[in-house]
Amino acid sequence: MHDVRASSSMSSSDVKREALALGFDLCGIAPAAGFPELRFLDEWLARGYAGEMHYMQRSAGRRADVRNVMPAARSVIVLGTLYNTDRPYSTTLPDAGHAAIARYAWGDDYHAVIERRLDSLVTRLGGIAGDGFEARAYVDTGPVQERVYAQHAGLGWIGKNTCVINPVLGSWMFLSVVVTNRPLDPDAAALDQCGSCALCLEACPTGALRAPHVLDSTRCLSYLTIEVKGSIASALREAVGAHAYGCDICQDVCPWNSMPTTGVSTDPSWQARAGLAAPRLLDLWRATDDGLRALLKGSAMKRAGVKRLRRNLAVAIGNSGDPDAASALVSSAEPTARDPLVEEHVAWAVEKLGGASHHD
Considering only 37-45, 104-112, 135-143, 247-255, which stretch makes contact with ligand SF4 by CB under 6 A?
Answer: 247-255
Residue nearest to ligand SF4 (CB): 159
Least distance CB 337 / ligand SF4 (angstroms): 26
* Binding status of residue 250 toward ligand SF4 by CB under 6 A: yes
Selected catalytic residue, list 3, 86, 109, 140: 140
Nearer to ligand SF4, 136 or 237 (CB): 237
**What binding mask, one character per residue, do residues 144-163 give for ligand SF4 by CB under 6 A, x or -?**
---------------xxx--
Q: Report how far residue 15's alpha carbon sits from residue 27's, in angstroms, rounded to the nearest whole number.
A: 8
334 vs 1: CA distance, rounded Å: 54
CB-wise, 50 or 329, nearer to ligand SF4?
Answer: 50
Burial of 49 (0-12, 13-18, 19+ CB in 10 A): buried
Q: Select from 155, 208, 296, 309 the one that contacts ligand SF4 (CB under 6 A).
A: 208
- Under the binding rule (CB under 6 A), the answer on residue 129 touching ligand SF4 is no
d(CA 53, CA 59): 11
- Binding of ligand SF4 by 247 (CB under 6 A): yes
Per CB under 6 A, 306 contacts ligand SF4: no
* Least Å from the CB of residue 253 to ligand SF4: 6
Element (H, E) at 75: strand 75-82
Report in angstroms how near the CB of residue 154 gets to ligand SF4 at its nearest. Answer: 18
Which member of 110, 133, 256, 270 binds ligand SF4 (CB under 6 A)? 256
Q: Measured on CA atoms in the order 280, 283, 286, 292, is the torsion positive or negative?
A: negative
Phi, psi of 116 (to 5 degrees): -60, -45
Stretch that binds ligand SF4, among 56-64, 72-80, 112-120, 200-208 (CB under 6 A): 200-208
Is 140 an active-site residue? yes
Please, what is the minimum distance in Å from the beta carbon of residue 57 to ligand SF4?
A: 20
With respect to ligand SF4, which residue has the nearer C-beta, 224 or 342? 224
DSSP per-residue codes, 103-154 = GGGSSS-HHHHHHHHHHHHHHHHHHHH-TT--EEEEESSSSS-HHHHHHHTT
3-state secondary structure of 53: coil
178 beta partners: 77, 137
Cα gap 15→82, rounded to integer Å: 19
Q: Distance between CA 312 and CA 173 in Å, rounded?
A: 25
Phi first, then psi, for residue 29 (nearest 5°) are -130, 130
- Contact yes or no for 191/226 (Cβ under 8 A): no
Task: Build a one-symbol-per-residue string for 157-196: x at contacts with ligand SF4 by CB under 6 A, - elsewhere.
Answer: --xxx--------------------------------x--
Residues noted as catalytic: 140
Which positions touch ligand SF4 (CB under 6 A)?
159-161, 194, 197-200, 204-206, 208-209, 215, 220-222, 247, 249-250, 253-256
